[in-house]
């Protein structure tokens, strides 16, 4: 699997705690109208992101938070004067903090991550109304991206999956130029099809500044998400409680994982 030069700087986790450049204004209690208790506000002022509030035993109030990619729970004492950071256990040794972090930190962060993917600069591959949407970071020089393209054709051609290729330029010196050429084409979907399906080599070329900035923004998103190889793909799965969560697949998936990603077995040809 191909690794970009920035690999040593990146984290493997595919969740928004690593995405420092994205604001959580909609999901942060620090931005809400109701003022935070003084000890919690003090932590927010120090750079901690406060995401959600939950009930806690012993008269305490719990707050889900994150900082520099770390998730944590904060417990406000009943007098409202002190805050304790850590894991709360009951008398049977059950971890009471973990499910609260999942609901009040990870779920909203992943929703924001999905929005960041949606707002990125991608090329549509598949039917617009396909029931399954998968975002995948693609470099025009990546042989594993080409393999992933070939793997997914049965689902894409059957109208069951829409891939959204977030074009990045990270593997070779001409990768940014090739990404820009694809994004700046008159018909980016057709240009990507000709490159990936028909083997027509894409040539790096100068593009308007706005297009080049799209490549830069995609590269930045790739880095901020803590990714280090292409392709890396993301899709949504529904938990037992009905909430949507993000799942990540790095590289070329095996057959079992591919079926899970595509949300069903290989479609039968007509």
Measured over the CA atoms of residue 38, residue 41, residue 46 and residue 48, the dihedral's sign is positive
Measured over the CA atoms of residue 192, residue 116, residue 101 and residue 230, the dihedral's sign is positive
Contact by Cβ (8 Å): 60, 76: yes
pLDDT at 145 over 60: yes
Q: Which residue has the tokens 């035993």?
A: 57
Enclosing H/E stretch for 212:
helix 209-224
Counting residues of the chain whose pLDDT is more than 90, the rounded percentage is 70
pLDDT value of residue 12:
34
For residue 33, what pLDDT band results from cuts at 50, 70 and 90?
A: low
**109: which residues sit within 8 A by CB, 6+ positions away?**
15, 16, 17, 24, 27, 51, 66
Please list, residue by residue across 88-119, b when 16 or more beta carbons sit within 10 angstroms of its beta carbon and e when fewer do: beeeeeeeebeebbbbbbbbbbbbbbbebbee
CATH superfamily for domain 24-115: Disulphide bond isomerase, DsbC/G, N-terminal (3.10.450.70)
Output the CATH code of domain 120-262.
3.40.30.10
pLDDT value of residue 258:
96
Residues 140, 176: Cα–Cα separation, whole Å? 9
pLDDT value of residue 20:
37
* Partners of 76 in the β-ladder: 61, 83
* Partners of 163 in the β-ladder: 125, 134
Q: What are the structural domain ranges in the chain?
A: 24-115, 120-262
pLDDT at 34 over 80: no
Tokens of 35: 């003022």
CA-nearest of 185, 199, 95 to 149 is 199
Residues 225, 16: Cα–Cα separation, whole Å? 7
- Work out the widest C-alpha separation in the chain, in whole angstroms: 69
pLDDT value of residue 22:
38
What predicted TM-score, i.e. pTM, was given to this entire model? 0.78
Q: Helix 188-196 vs helix 143-157: angle between axes, to the nearest 10 degrees? A: 110
pLDDT value of residue 270:
62
The SS3 of residue 105 is helix
Residues 99, 93: Cα–Cα separation, whole Å? 14
Q: CA 4: distance to chain centroid?
A: 18
Q: How distant, in Å, are the alpha carbons of 10, 13, 117, 253, 256 from that of 6?
A: 7, 15, 20, 23, 30
Residues 9, 19: Cα–Cα separation, whole Å? 13
The chain-wide mean pLDDT, for the chain, equals 86
């Amino acid at each position: 699997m191909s690794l970009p030069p920035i690999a040593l700087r990146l984290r493997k986790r595919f969740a928004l705690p690593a995405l420092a450049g994205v604001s959580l204004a909609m999901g942060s209690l620090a931005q809400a109208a109701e003022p935070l208790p003084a000890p919690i506000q003090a932590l927010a002022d120090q750079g901690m992101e406060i995401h959600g509030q939950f009930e806690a035993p012993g008269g305490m109030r719990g707050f889900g938070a994150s900082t520099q990619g770390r998730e944590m729970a904060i417990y406000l004492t009943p007098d409202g004067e002190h805050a304790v950071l850590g894991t709360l256990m009951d008398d049977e040794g059950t971890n009471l903090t973990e499910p609260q972090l999942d609901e009040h930190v990870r779920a909203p962060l992943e929703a924001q991550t999905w929005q960041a993917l949606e707002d990125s600069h991608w090329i549509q591959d598949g039917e617009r109304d396909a029931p399954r949407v998968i975002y995948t970071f693609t470099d025009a020089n990546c042989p594993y991206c080409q393999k992933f393209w070939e793997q997914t054709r049965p689902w894409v051609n059957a109208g069951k999956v829409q891939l959204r290729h977030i074009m990045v330029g990270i593997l070779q010196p001409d990768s940014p130029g090739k990404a820009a050429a694809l994004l700046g084409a008159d018909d980016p979907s057709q240009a990507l099809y000709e490159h990936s399906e028909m083997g027509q080599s894409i040539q790096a070329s100068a593009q308007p500044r706005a297009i080049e900035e799209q490549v830069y923004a995609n590269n930045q998103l790739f880095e901020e998400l803590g990714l280090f190889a292409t392709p890396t793909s993301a899709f949504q799965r529904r938990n037992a409680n009905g909430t949507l969560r993000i799942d990540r697949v790095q590289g070329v998936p095996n057959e079992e994982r591919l079926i899970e990603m595509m949300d069903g077995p290989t479609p039968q040809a007509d």
